[in-house]
């Protein structure tokens, strides 16, 4: 029987506009729009469902065509989608303008609806049952800080492990009061800097700072540079392989989290789990979408051949 994962977090619309030529500020720029369902929690949910897990998703959504688009994508990925639908509200969205080389010009995040996922919604019978029945809870920092704290507290009462995705430097601080109740945190170096309030030359100093904040396990990605991961008793590093034909890096961090969690739930140790995460991210960046529709356990295992072994730092 497939292991169960409960995802509580962002499931919204991502819009990305790419400028065709040189960016001309203050003027009309030729370009094209691309729109797809996204959100850290939702991307991870789709990846984990494609990797064979029984995934349930709970998130706020508006009663609009964007909400229907998210629901259709969830169904297509095999997710058990149980949203809180607010018929008179808009589904959250993230709209970005990108330069021709992919660098961000400006973005607008319309995420007000997530404020309505308040802690008392965890007391709903169907949500309580979902906590009781799952093997792992995954949340993201799109949710309010008090809700993230309540998720960690309820998970502890149920004896369930909790993983979290940082989302952004501005949002990761919402997780700070709850770090002692989070078993695995996935973040990049900008988010690590925001959470710890330090920017060390040696990334191992982030490990010490995060442990001081009572985080037990974490993975810090650093773009093309070696990522660093830690548990209570080990620190490991891994150099991501060079990936040819990158289509879009959107969702790479969410897929890395999915790969790591899938390996940990299969009984692999941290050093091997981050290899699975890097392999999943490599598959994703070759797709024009935030999640690779062809992701599967077989493809992930094949991609592992390109990923080096992790280095034990301590």
Of these ranges, 64-78, 87-101, 287-301, the one predicted with the greatest mean pLDDT is 64-78
Yes or no: say if 292 and 282 are a contact pair by the CB < 8 Å rule.
no
Angle (nearest 5°) at CA 173 between 170 and 175: 130
For the chain, domains (ranges, CATH) are: 2-8+40-82+120-310 (3.40.1190.20)
| pLDDT value for 100 | 85
Task: Give me 222's structure tokens.
Answer: 């650093």
Residue 141 banded pLDDT, cuts 50, 70, 90:
very high
In the predicted structure, residue 151 carries a pLDDT above the cut 90: yes
User: What is the C-alpha to C-alpha distance for residues 10 and 20, in angstroms, rounded to an integer?
Assistant: 30
User: With helix as H, strand as E and coil as C, how does 195-247 read?
Assistant: HHCCCCCCCHHHHHHHHHCCCCCEEEEECCEEEEEECCCCEEEECCCCCCCCC
| pLDDT value for 247 | 73
User: What is the C-alpha to C-alpha distance for residues 68 and 73, in angstroms, rounded to an integer?
Assistant: 9
pLDDT digits (tens, 9 = 90+) for 288-300: 887 889 999 999 9
Residue 5 banded pLDDT, cuts 50, 70, 90:
very high
Q: Which of helix, strand or coil describes residue 93? A: strand
| pLDDT value for 67 | 96
Q: Residue 28: left (phi > 0), alpha (psi -120 to 50), or beta?
A: beta
Stretch 172-186: mean pLDDT: 98
List the one residue out of 185, 124, 198, 201 whose CA is nearest residue 152: 185
In the predicted structure, residue 116 carries a pLDDT above the cut 80: yes
Instruction: Report the chain's mean pLDDT, rounded to a whole number.
Output: 94
Answer yes or no: pTM beyond 0.85. Answer: yes
- What is the layout of strands, in order, in the sheet containing 93-98? 31-38, 12-19, 93-98, 104-110
User: What is the C-alpha to C-alpha distance for residues 261 and 61, in angstroms, rounded to an integer?
Assistant: 26
pLDDT digits (tens, 9 = 90+) for 155-175: 999 999 999 999 999 999 999
| pLDDT value for 208 | 96
Q: Residue 88: left (phi > 0), alpha (psi -120 to 50), or beta?
A: alpha
């Amino acid at each position: 029987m497939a292991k169960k994962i409960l995802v509580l977090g962002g499931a919204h619309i991502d819009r990305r506009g790419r400028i065709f030529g040189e960016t001309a500020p203050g003027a009309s720029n030729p370009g094209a729009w691309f729109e797809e369902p996204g959100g850290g929690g939702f991307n991870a949910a789709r990846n984990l469902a494609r990797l064979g897990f029984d995934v349930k998703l709970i998130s706020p959504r508006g009663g609009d065509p964007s909400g229907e688009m998210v629901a259709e994508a969830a169904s297509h990925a095999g997710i058990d989608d149980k949203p809180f639908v607010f018929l008179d509200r808009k589904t959250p969205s993230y709209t970005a303008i990108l330069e021709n080389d992919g660098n961000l010009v400006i973005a607008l995040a319309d995420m007000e609806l997530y404020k309505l996922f308040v802690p008392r919604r965890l007391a709903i019978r169907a949500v309580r049952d979902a906590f009781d029945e799952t093997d792992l809870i995954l949340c993201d920092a799109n949710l309010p800080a008090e809700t993230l704290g309540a998720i960690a507290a309820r998970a502890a009462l149920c004896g369930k492990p909790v993983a979290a995705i940082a989302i952004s430097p501005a949002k990761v601080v919402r997780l700070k009061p709850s770090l002692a109740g989070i078993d695995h945190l996935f973040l990049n170096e900008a988010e690590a800097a925001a959470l710890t309030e330090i920017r060390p030359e040696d990334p191992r100093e982030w490990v010490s700072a995060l442990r001081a904040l009572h985080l037990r396990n974490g993975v810090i990605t650093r773009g093309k540079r070696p990522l660093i991961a830690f548990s209570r008793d080990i620190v490991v590093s891994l150099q991501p392989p060079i990936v040819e034909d990158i289509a879009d890096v959107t969702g790479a961090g969410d897929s890395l989290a999915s790969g790591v969690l899938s390996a940990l739930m299969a009984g692999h140790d941290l050093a091997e789990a981050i290899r699975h995460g890097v392999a999943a991210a490599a598959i994703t960046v070759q797709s024009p979408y935030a999640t690779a529709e062809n992701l599967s356990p077989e493809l992930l295992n094949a991609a592992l051949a390109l990923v080096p072994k992790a280095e034990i730092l301590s």
